[in-house]
Amino acid sequence: MADDIVVLARSRLSGERAALAVRVALALPLGGISTRLILVDSASALGLEAVPDLSLWSGGLDRELEALVTEEGAAVLVEQESLEELGLAGRPLRAGAALVGRDQVAAFCGAAGSCLVL
Amino acid sequence: MAPSAPPGRPVQRASWQWKPPCSPTVGYAACSQPRITSEAQLNFLFLLTAGPRSESVHTVAALVRAAGQAGHHAEVFLAGDGVAHAATLAGAVPVTLCDADLRWRQTDLVEVPGVRRGSLRDLAIRCRDADRILVFR
């Protein structure tokens, strides 16, 4: 039985998958699961204060991400290396999001009961 | 020149020939039956988000079949583009799909017998109860 789950969002903002990862992360606490959303690769841009509005999906996630942090108390972590690869390393993060290194991402995934890569 | 047999003894022809463990007429699945164990029964949850243009649904179907043969319990949750596979998996395994994702894609909703329309809250409950969660995206 998984009591703590890491949702690893790594898809592009132009598609639905990154949004689906956020929705899943938002839903998991409803099942009593401690959730941690980690944004890597292209999805790391979702952790920025000003998210590039690339599609219907990426533009409408502010409310979900805010609810995830403030109402569900879930951790939202953004991988530093991913932001650097996208050239966005200097941008401010959204409230409640924290920057982590790639080794920490691996450690969080390894320590979790389950890791959902979406 | 063929070898000549000793007088009074017939020529012994080798009757053995190599046979592959899996002949081409037999599918791989038939050759790789899961080992039945009576140890722990696990609850598998398959989260399928891959759309129709992917072979993930076939992989999930095969894994569900294998899990059942090995005495495990399997369940499938369809989200995103994965809702397109409801009819394919119905009947073989308990299937729940995200109703919001289905409504986003289809205005003319058709009920599929054996498929439950739920929400991501159902996914959360199934994740809590699952021993292993496998995502196919």
Reported confidence tier of residue A2, pLDDT bands at 50, 70, 90: low
pLDDT score, position B92? 86
Report the share of chain B in percent with pLDDT over 90. 56
Position A25 pLDDT exceeds 70:
yes
One DSSP character per residue, A62-73 reads HHHHHHHHHTS-
Position B109 pLDDT exceeds 80:
no
pLDDT score, position A16? 86
The predicted model scores a pTM of 0.80
Distance from CA of A3 to the nearest CA of B (A): 6
Average predicted confidence (pLDDT) for chain A: 90
pLDDT tens digits, one per residue of B13-71: 555 555 545 444 444 554 455 545 456 799 999 999 999 888 999 999 999 999 999 99
ipTM entry: 0.89
* CB-CB contact of B120 with B113 (8 Å): no
In this complex, do A5 and B131 lie within 8 Å of one another by their Cβ atoms? no
In this complex, do A118 and B137 lie within 8 Å of one another by their Cβ atoms? yes
N-term to C-term CA, chain B: 64
Kind and range of the H or E run holding A61? none
pLDDT score, position B108? 74
Report the share of chain B in percent with pLDDT over 70. 72
**Candidate from A3, A26, A114 with C-beta closest to B133:** A114
Using CB atoms within 10 Å of the CB of residue B55, give its burial: 0 to 12 exposed, 13 to 18 middle, 19+ buried.
exposed
pLDDT score, position B70? 93
The CATH code of domain A4-117 reads: 3.40.1260.10
Using CB atoms within 10 Å of the CB of residue A110, give its burial: 0 to 12 exposed, 13 to 18 middle, 19+ buried.
exposed
* CB-CB contact of B90 with B113 (8 Å): yes
Kind and range of the H or E run holding B14? none
Find the residue in B nearest to A16 (Cα).
B80
> What is the set of domains in chain B, with CATH numbers?
41-136 (3.40.1260.10)
pLDDT score, position A39? 96
In this complex, do B120 and A27 lie within 8 Å of one another by their Cβ atoms? yes
